[in-house]
Amino acid sequence: MLTLEDIRQMDPQSINAEIAKTQHELLKMKLQTASGQSKETSQIKALRKTIARLQTVQKEFKLSANK
Total domains in the chain come to 1
Q: Is there a domain that residue 47 lies in?
A: yes
Q: Is there a domain that residue 24 lies in?
A: no
Full residue range of the structural domain in which residue 64 is found: 1-6+40-67
Classify 65 in phi/psi space as left (phi over 0), alpha (psi -120 to 50) or beta: alpha
Q: Is there a domain that residue 1 lies in?
A: yes
Q: Is there a domain that residue 22 lies in?
A: no
Q: Is there a domain that residue 17 lies in?
A: no
Q: Encode the chain (67 residues) as per-residue pLDDT tens digits.
A: 788 899 999 999 999 999 999 999 999 999 999 999 988 889 999 999 999 999 999 999 999 888 7
Q: Is there a domain that residue 31 lies in?
A: no
Whether this prediction's pTM lies above 0.85 is answered by: yes
